Each structure stands twice: as C-alpha cells, then as structure tokens.
Amino acid sequence: MKSKNETSRRDFIKLGGTATLGLSTLHLTGCKEGETENVAKSASNQKGNRRFPDDFVWGTATAAYQVEGAVKEDGRGMSIWDTYSEIPGKIKNNDTGEVACDMYHRYKEDVQLMKSIHAGAYRFSISWPRVFPEGMGTPNPKGLDFYDRLIDELLANGITPYATLYHWDLPQTLQDKYGGWQSKETSKAFAAYAAYVTEKISDRVKHYFTLNEFYSFTDLSYGQGQLAPGLKLPQKGIVQVRHNAVLAHGMAVEAMRQSAKSPLEIGVAENIVTAVPVMDTRENIEAAKNATRELNAGLLTVMLEGKYTDKYLNSLGSDAPEFTDEELKLIGSPLDFVGINVYLANKYVLAADNEDGYELLPHAKHHPTMASPWHLISPESLYWAPRLVKELWNAKEIYITENGCGATDEMTNDGKIIDTDRVMFMKNYLTQLHRATSEGIPVKGYFHWSLMDNFEWIFGYGIRFGLFYMDYETLERTPKQSAAYFKNIAKSNTLI
Ligand code: GBH
C-alpha cells in the first residue's frame, strides 16, 4: 500500500524541473525511514537525466578591485574606484577596496579553496591600473607579474584561467585626462592595453572576456551617478558613453587577435537585460525575444549584430550616438562565445496587440528578493537568458559568466555558515540551467559569483556573495554550506 507521502513524491517527480525542490522539501519535513530511502533511490534513478554535458565547465568568478587589495603596491596606479570610495557617504559604511580579501598576497591559498570545491575554472579580472598605472604609455612590469604568478598557480592545480580585461576599475588618469568613457581615446587605450596583456599571457590563457557589465559602468556610472565616477550626464552623453564602451570592446577583439601568440577564444561578459515570458506560450516567447533584443539595443545587440536597431536610433532622435560604419563593423567583430551574467528576470513580458508586439509588466510589489534590494528571485532567468541568446543571435557557445546571490551570512558559535538561502537559490537556478542544457542550448560553463565574500561596490562589505565566508578582521576564509553544495555538483557534473 502506498502512503500519502509516496504519492506526493511521485507527483513531484512528474513535475520534472521542480523535482529537486520537492524531494529536498520532503526530506527536510522528515518522512519516515523507509520513505526516505525511496526518495533517495528515485533521485539516484533520475541521475542519467540530471547530468550536465560531459565537458561542462564549473567555475567561480571574482573581480580585481573587489578581492585583491594591495592598492598601492608594486607600482599600481589609482583607479576611479579608489577615488570614489574615498568620498565619504558614497559607499555603505565608507568601506573601500584597500584591503578587500588581500588576494594579492593570498592567491595561493585561494587557488586551494577553488580546488577544494572541485572548481575546474576561475574567472578573474585584470586590473588595468596595475598593468598601465596611467592607463597608457609605459607598462608596469610588476603589475603583470602578479597575474603571471596567479595563472601559473591555477595551471599547476589543474584550474583553467578565464581572464576578464575590464571590471570597472578604470585608471584615474584616463578619467582626468579624457573624461574616461566619454572619449574614444579611452576606447583606444583599452584596445592597446588588451593587446599588451594578450601578448604576454596568451601562451597560457586561452579564454578572454573583454569588458564586464556595460550597463553598470556606462549608465549607472555616467548617467545615474550611482557607481564610480558618479556622474549624471544628460542622455546624449550617456548614449555616447555606451557607444565608446562597445567600440572599446570591438577594437580590443581585433587588437587581441593580432597580438596573440596562439589562437584565442574571445567573448564579452554582459549583464544581459532578460525579458522572461510570464507564460511559455508561443506568442509570449516571441514577445520575450523581441523585447530582449530591444532592451539590449545599445549594448549586447549592437555587439552581436554590428548595428543599432531602428527603434533604438529613432527613439533617441538627436541624442543618437555619433558613429561611423567602420566603427560598427569593429563593434560587431565575430566572437567565439557570448558570456552573460544572469541574476534575475529584469522584465516579465506578455504578447500584446500594439506596435511592438509586447508589453513589459511592472514587477509585483511583493516579488521576493535576496539580500540585495535589486535582486528579485527569478530562477527561470537562467533558462531564458541563454535560450534567447541562442535564438536571437545563434550563439555557438554561451558561458554563464556570473550567477549567485548576496546574503547576510553569519557564523554560528561553532564556526559554521549555514546559508540555506543561497543553497535554495542555487538549486532552483541550476534546475533551470539544466533545463537549458538538456534542450541542447549550448551553455559551456557556469561561473558562480563569487568564490568568496568581497567588496560589493556601493554596498561595501555588508552583503556577502561568497561560497567562502570572509572574516574581514582576520581575513580567514571558511567554506559555507553552499560551498559543499557547489562541490557536490561540480564533482558529479550532476544536478543535486
Ligand atoms: C554583478 O552585478 C557584478 O558584475 C559584480 O561585480 C557584483 O559584485 C555582482 O554582480 C553582485 O552584485 O542600482 O540598486 O540596481 C550584478 C548586476 C547591476 C546589480 C547594477 C547591482 C546596481 C545597484 N548589478 N546594480 S542598483
């Protein structure tokens, strides 16, 4: 005879994608001995279906200013984030990245952390002002030495390095001299820096991301005054900043391919604005596609299509960016893969009988969030973002360059960090990622943001994103429950 619990277990399994959540809920609510065994057995029976593709890459990600510290060491120049975080009131608690996780000195220990959770890849960013203290001109050899040591340590431990060339730490000199991203001089300087780095490390590093999250370092930094350098330009200025940023990307792709010593794989790491269909009907999926293309028109869309959409240019009128056909060609340089940072469904969308064919819905007032106020919980984004990238732009390879969540983790008296909220987040998001790979969407890898708690920009050290907990007094690193969860998945290449 079947017990009630067993019936509901079967129902959960029938639901497919939601089975993971169902099984663990049952487990936690404490079913009887024999039933627990049945649950475990059926989970293992499902194993075949729960595997990720054989060569799937499991990694973690960080960014230079958020983890390195050592901001005045070995000839590093100032960046706009050093300047910005010194202005009282800009950063929560007036925190700065001066020490951060001190990874500059502790990278060997941190490579061991990666190894301990079975991460096969590491996405780190290179600090432009370490390599070129003034953004251009004479390089500082000691700056690149650090990345040489880090890369060698990763390779010696069987971890594949993925380098990001820009994660928001613009050399202060370029801000002072040219107004930073307001000038194409900065785009040119970026391409020269990117080519220099590639020439030096392409013998050991094959995978590169040019720039990280354009919207953050363009609109939020030059338009809304939230992130460094904290400017509030009028629309025309912001639109030009966006253009100069995508131009930097395109110029760098070309320059890097020329300077490389062996063939490179280059992509972008963009915080795609994802429109998710409220209901997965054919009309709504079409609506989500069209909406996603337009919502990214000034950034990802132009990089992948080599042209601005008519709608984007028309809506801007005289504020449209100044550009040439030659620039557009560079901006649309062919890429080897598309990297997307996916945290949420930026918009929910429905098909509509209007000119656009879609309607963007406002977020419901009580939509649940994680610790960061912007972070609406929407696991389906990790299915829809790669699917839309594949369908819109026929991407051959896709990486999830960031996914993760902030929490206010605390250590218990006996030294544990029980972040069941993060495990819940990962379980649900990864279920949707698995849905994508099992449908043949070419996602090649997943980088969890972040390896360890770090300097969370304007939120300072208060919101923690790590799989490892950081004691900011002692700089001791401790694995959280989520680190164990990540390890199980990475080791088995299976959704658990
Ligand atoms: C990423 O941004 C960043 O690449 C990474 O450096 C960061 O640590 C991580 O995620 C976690 O935040 O105006 O209130 O919306 C994720 C997307 C876009 C989220 C900008 C924060 C600004 C704050 N981010 N947004 S708010």
pLDDT of 42 strictly over 60: no
Q: 234 burial class (0-12, 13-18, 19+ CB within 10 angstroms)?
A: exposed
pLDDT of 8 strictly over 60: no
Residue 254 domain-assigned? yes
Q: Which residue has the tokens 């080599």?
A: 306
Q: What spacing in Å lies between the alpha carbon of 428 and ligand 1's midpoint?
A: 20
By most ligand atoms within 8 Å of CB, the mutation choice from 66, 164, 216 for ligand 1 is 216
271 CB near ligand 1 (under 6 Å): yes
Whose alpha carbon is nearest atom 14 of ligand 1? Answer: 374
Using one digit for the tens of pLDDT, what is the confidence trace for 180-233? 999 999 999 999 999 999 999 999 999 999 999 999 999 999 999 999 999 999
pLDDT of 19 strictly over 70: no
Q: What spacing in Å lies between the alpha carbon of 13 and ligand 1's midpoint?
A: 35
Nearest ligand 1 atom, CA 459: 23
Residue 327 domain-assigned? yes
Q: Which residue has the tokens 């009282």?
A: 88
The mean predicted confidence, pLDDT, of the chain is 92
The share of the chain scoring above pLDDT 70, in percent, equals 90
Residue 70 domain-assigned? yes
Assess whether 391 carries a catalytic annotation: no
Whose alpha carbon is nearest atom 17 of ligand 1? Answer: 271
* Mean predicted confidence (pLDDT) in 369-374: 96
How high is the pLDDT of residue 3?
39
Active-site entry in 68, 213, 327, 380: 213
Residue 423 domain-assigned? yes
Whose alpha carbon is nearest atom 11 of ligand 1? Answer: 456
How high is the pLDDT of residue 48?
57
pLDDT of 258 strictly over 50: yes
- The pTM for the full model equals 0.91
Residue 31 domain-assigned? no
Whose alpha carbon is nearest atom 23 of ligand 1? Answer: 374
How high is the pLDDT of residue 318?
98
How high is the pLDDT of residue 47?
52
Using one digit for the tens of pLDDT, what is the confidence trace for 402-453? 999 999 999 999 999 999 999 999 999 999 999 999 999 999 999 999 999 9
pLDDT of 26 strictly over 50: no
* Mean predicted confidence (pLDDT) in 68-85: 98
95 CB near ligand 1 (under 6 Å): no
Residue 16 domain-assigned? no
Assess whether 380 carries a catalytic annotation: no
The share of the chain scoring above pLDDT 90, in percent, equals 90
449 CB near ligand 1 (under 6 Å): yes
pLDDT of 34 strictly over 60: no
Specify which residues 266 forms β-bridges with: 208
219 CB near ligand 1 (under 6 Å): no
Active-site entry in 294, 380, 402, 456: 402
Q: What spacing in Å lies between the alpha carbon of 354 and ligand 1's midpoint?
A: 32
CA atoms in the 13 A half-sphere facing the CB of 462: 11
63 CB near ligand 1 (under 6 Å): yes
Q: What spacing in Å lies between the alpha carbon of 284 and ligand 1's midpoint?
A: 28
pLDDT of 272 strictly over 70: yes
Residue 3 domain-assigned? no
Q: Which structural domain, as residue segments, surrounds residue 324?
A: 58-492
Least confident segment among 41-45, 241-245, 485-489? 41-45
How high is the pLDDT of residue 46?
55
The band of 21, judged by pLDDT with boundaries at 50, 70 and 90, is very low
402 CB near ligand 1 (under 6 Å): yes
Q: What spacing in Å lies between the alpha carbon of 10 and ligand 1's midpoint?
A: 39
pLDDT of 237 strictly over 70: yes
Least confident segment among 38-52, 158-172, 186-200, 234-248? 38-52
169 CB near ligand 1 (under 6 Å): no
How high is the pLDDT of residue 163?
99
Q: What spacing in Å lies between the alpha carbon of 359 and ligand 1's midpoint?
A: 25
pLDDT of 86 strictly over 50: yes
Residue 263 domain-assigned? yes
216 CB near ligand 1 (under 6 Å): yes
* Mean predicted confidence (pLDDT) in 103-116: 98
341 CB near ligand 1 (under 6 Å): yes
Q: What spacing in Å lies between the alpha carbon of 374 and ligand 1's midpoint?
A: 8
- Provide the number of structural domains found in the chain: 1
Using one digit for the tens of pLDDT, what is the confidence trace for 335-358? 999 999 999 999 999 999 999 999
Using one digit for the tens of pLDDT, what is the confidence trace for 387-403? 999 999 999 999 999 99
Nearest ligand 1 atom, CA 449: 9
456 CB near ligand 1 (under 6 Å): yes
Nearest ligand 1 atom, CA 216: 20
CATH at 222: 3.20.20.80
pLDDT of 18 strictly over 80: no
By most ligand atoms within 8 Å of CB, the mutation choice from 91, 168, 217, 220 for ligand 1 is 220
How high is the pLDDT of residue 40?
38
Q: What spacing in Å lies between the alpha carbon of 180 and ligand 1's midpoint?
A: 20
274 CB near ligand 1 (under 6 Å): no
